[in-house]
């Protein structure tokens, strides 16, 4: 039997961007011919793509760490680094992608549906690209941005139109085997089916899929038998079929109470109440089975169920059943909005791209969050003063300095750029440009008149600071 895996944890690492190159063009008689450092290449993405020929998540169970290619660094003579190779991971139709907290990131339904699980880092600009009228020969380049690293969970929810539910040995797998070309394992002991089987049925012009799940028993919701875990595979179905055994040898069972037990377990699982149900009375080839079916049929119909009497072994009643199912599915498909079939999932943006926020934390640090400032910090080579100055310029131009002043920060206060776990922290020295705007007339600094936030007052009290004489001199990551 092939192993079937329907839940895996996957650790994806997108490729790092290549570093930009700082280089100066050299020629005979022209030793300083201008900057010619090329850009680093983009890091590869990790991309999940639905491939209907893939049926299990087994591959990812065996190797849960996946990494895309890194971008190559730029080189002199304006040579750009090569982009890193994307890593394409084929996944089964119906794969649900979740984060570690269980939030759904994407629901991948339909051949070719894609999801970027990890975004490659941008390549760093080389010094040629950083040159401007004001900065003619930059002696630095930008670092490549690290690729995104993410832990995700993938869950398979089989995409089937019809789901067969019932006690073990009711004949669910037998029914699939006679309604479709699928050849699931069939045997007379309970829990023959350990993983869902899927078959394709053609009834007239309607083609639909049918799946069974491992048998349910009383207490499945408390984990008895194989539990309810596999019911997630029926969540997407349009119709539920109760397969009832009319010939069970167990004295305490009969089809009607079996139905009640399974319904109670489905209720425990939840979320399936709106699905239409039909009842199949199986094994009527056995004389007692036929008698029992005749007896209980009115009762079931009185409850509102459409009832079909079949024998999977003698192959009777199958045509009526498969056409009735086709009818229900046809109606369900017609009622569904069209775009549902090939849903394109776009990865939700992690951070607001519009700008940034400045907040004062209890730790007395001013925290700057935003896609751009966080990326710029990652691109900065803090061993290079020019690169640090360039970062300061960029932050200033975005308005980070102004926002810090408005939030009450002043010279020497701690500023953190990035999330709690992953921030660059430095002592802030406002640059001339930002300071001048706020200072107003010479000799007046209305920043001093503004009330100071309590956390900052605390900091001021217990911190004796050296005056920094150079802008960003004390800017140091740790």
Ligand X SMILES: Nc1nc2c(ncn2[C@@H]2O[C@H](COP(=O)(O)OP(=O)(O)OP(=O)(O)O)[C@@H](O)[C@H]2O)c(=O)[nH]1
Q: Which stretch binds ligand X (CB under 6 A): 99-107, 182-190, 368-376, 418-426?
A: 182-190
> Among residues 318, 304, 236, 248, which one has the least CA distance to residue 272?
236
Of 173, 209, 246, 248, the one binding Mg ion by CB under 5 A: 173
Q: What share of the chain is helix, strand, coil (3-state, %, to 5)?
A: 25, 20, 50
Residue 177 near Mg ion by CB under 5 A: no
Of residues 95, 113, 174, 238, which one binds ligand X by CB under 6 A? 174
Nearer to ligand X, 21 or 213 (CB): 213
Report the alpha-carbon distance of residue 92 to residue 8 in Å, rounded: 13
Shortest Å, Cβ 196 to ligand X:
10
> Does 39 interact with Mg ion (rule: CB under 5 A)?
no
Choices 75-83, 134-142, 171-179, 402-410; region in contact with ligand X by CB under 6 A = 171-179
Spell out where 109-218 has E strands: 114-118, 149-156, 162-165, 197-203, 206-212
DSSP letters, 61-98, are HH--EEEPPPPPPPBTTTBPPPPPPPEEEEE-TTEEEE
Sorted by sequence, the CB contacts under 8 Å of residue 172 that are 6+ apart come out as 164, 165, 166, 193, 212, 213, 215, 243
Q: Specify the 3-state DSSP secondary structure of 287.
A: helix
* Binding-site member from 95, 158, 173, 248 for ligand X (CB under 6 A): 173
Among 32, 62, 149, 191, binds ligand X (CB under 6 A): 191
Rounded Cα gap, residues 36 and 18, in angstroms: 16
- Of the pair 291, 420, the CB lying nearest ligand X is at 291
Q: Look at residue 286 and give the partner it binds from ligand X, Mg ion, none, a contact being a CB closer than 5 to 8 Å depending on partner kind.
A: ligand X
193 belongs to the binding site for Mg ion (CB under 5 A): yes
Nearer to Mg ion, 173 or 248 (CB): 173
Report the largest interatomic distance among the alpha carbons of the chain, rounded to a whole angstrom.
106
Binding status of residue 242 toward ligand X by CB under 6 A: no
Considering CB distances under 5 to 8 angstroms, the limit depending on partner class, which of ligand X, Mg ion, none binds residue 344?
none
Of the candidate spans 33-41, 189-197, 295-303, 440-448, the one that interacts with Mg ion by CB under 5 A turns out to be: 189-197
- 192 is a contact residue toward Mg ion (CB under 5 A): yes
Q: How far is the CB of 326 from ligand X (least distance, A)?
A: 21
- Judged by beta carbon, residue 173 or residue 380, the one nearer Mg ion is 173
Closest approach, Cβ 193 to ligand X, in A, equals 3
Q: What angle do CA 51, 56, 59 make, to 5 degrees?
A: 90
188 binds, among Mg ion, ligand X, none (CB under 5 to 8 A by kind): ligand X
Q: In this chain, which of 27, 101, 188, 274 binds ligand X, going by CB under 6 A?
A: 188
Other beta carbons within 10 angstroms of residue 177's beta carbon come to 18
Helices 371-378 & 385-398 angle (0-180, nearest 10) = 170
Distances 394 to 87, 400, 429, 440 between C-alpha atoms, Å: 33, 9, 15, 23
The Cα 109–Cα 66 span in angstroms is 22
d(CA 129, CA 39): 7
Q: Minimum CB separation from ligand X for residue 164, in Å?
A: 8
- At its nearest, how many Å lie between ligand X and the CB of residue 292? 13
How many chain residues touch ligand X (CB under 6 A)? Answer: 25
Residue closer to ligand X (CB basis): 241 or 387: 241
Give the residue carrying structure tokens 């003698």: 314
Least separation in angstroms between residue 327's CB and Mg ion is 26
Shortest distance (Å) from residue 174 CB to Mg ion = 8
Residues 68, 15 contacting (CB under 8 angstroms): yes
Q: Which of residues 310-329 bind ligand X (CB under 6 A)?
A: 311-313
Secondary structure element (H or E) that encloses residue 8, with its range:
strand 7-13
CB atoms within 10 A of CB 49: 15
Q: Which does 190 bind (CB under 5 to 8 A by kind): ligand X, Mg ion, none?
A: ligand X
Piece of the chain touching ligand X by CB under 6 A; list 99-107, 126-134, 281-289, 446-454: 281-289
- Residue-level length of the chain: 478
Beta carbon nearer to ligand X, 290 or 431: 290
Sheet holding 422-427, edge to edge: 357-360, 366-369, 414-419, 422-427
Single residue of 75, 130, 154, 186 touching ligand X by CB under 6 A: 186
User: Token pair of 53, please?
Assistant: 């020929």
Residue of this chain nearest to ligand X (CB atom): 215
Between 212 and 427, CB nearer to ligand X: 212
Residue ranges binding ligand X (CB under 6 A): 166, 168-174, 186-188, 190-193, 212, 214-215, 282-283, 285-286, 311-313
Instruction: Point out which residues bind Mg ion (CB under 5 A).
Output: 173, 192-193
């Amino acid at each position: 039997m092939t192993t079937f895996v329907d839940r895996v944890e996957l650790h994806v690492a997108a490729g790092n961007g290549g570093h930009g190159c700082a280089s100066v063009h050299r020629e005979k008689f022209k030793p300083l011919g201008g900057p010619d450092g090329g850009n680093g290449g983009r890091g590869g993405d990790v991309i999940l793509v639905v491939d209907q020929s893939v049926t299990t998540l087994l591959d990812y169970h065996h190797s849960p760490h996946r990494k895309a290619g890194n971008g190559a660094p730029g080189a002199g003579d304006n040579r750009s680094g090569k982009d890193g190779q994307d890593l394409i991971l084929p996944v089964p139709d119906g794969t649900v992608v979740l984060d570690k907290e269980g939030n759904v990131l994407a629901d991948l339904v339909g051949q070719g549906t894609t999801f970027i699980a990890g975004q490659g880092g941008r390549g760093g600009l080389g010094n040629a690209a950083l040159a401007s009228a004001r900065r003619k020969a930059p002696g630095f380049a930008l670092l490549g941005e690290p690729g995104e690293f993410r832990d995700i969970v993938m869950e398979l929810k089989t995409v089937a139109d019809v789901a067969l539910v019932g006690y073990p040995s009711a004949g669910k797998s037998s029914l699939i085997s006679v309604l479709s070309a699928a050849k699931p394992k069939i045997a007379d002991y309970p829990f023959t089916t350990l993983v869902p089987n899927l078959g394709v049925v053609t009834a007239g012009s309607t083609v639909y899929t049918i799946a069974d799940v491992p048998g349910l028993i009383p207490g499945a919701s408390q984990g008895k038998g194989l539990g309810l875990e596999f019911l997630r595979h029926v969540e997407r179905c349009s119709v539920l079929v109760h397969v009832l055994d009319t010939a069970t040898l167990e004295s305490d069972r009969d089809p009607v109470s079996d139905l009640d037990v399974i319904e109670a377990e489905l209720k425990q699982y939840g979320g399936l109440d709106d699905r239409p149900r039909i009842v199949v009375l199986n094994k009527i080839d056995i004389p007692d089975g036929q008698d029992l079916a005749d007896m209980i049929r009115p009762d079931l119909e009185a409850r509102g169920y459409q009832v079909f009497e079949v024998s999977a072994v003698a192959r009777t009643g199958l045509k009526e059943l498969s056409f009735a199912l086709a009818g229900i599915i046809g109606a369900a498909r017609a009622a569904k909005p069209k775009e549902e079939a090939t849903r394109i999932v776009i990865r939700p943006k992690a951070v607001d791209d519009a700008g940034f926020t400045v907040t004062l934390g209890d730790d007395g640090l001013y925290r700057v969050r935003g896609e751009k400032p966080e990326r710029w910090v990652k691109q900065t080579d803090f061993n290079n003063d020019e690169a640090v100055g360039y970062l300061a310029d960029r932050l200033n131009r975005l308005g980070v300095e102004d926002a810090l002043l408005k939030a009450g920060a002043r010279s020497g206060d701690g500023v953190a750029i990035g999330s709690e776990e992953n921030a660059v922290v430095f002592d802030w020295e406002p640059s001339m440009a930002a300071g001048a705007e706020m200072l107003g007339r010479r000799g007046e600094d209305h920043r001093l008149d503004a009330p100071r936030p309590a956390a900052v007052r605390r900091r001021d009290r217990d911190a004796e600071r050296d005056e920094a004489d150079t802008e960003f001199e004390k800017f140091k990551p740790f």
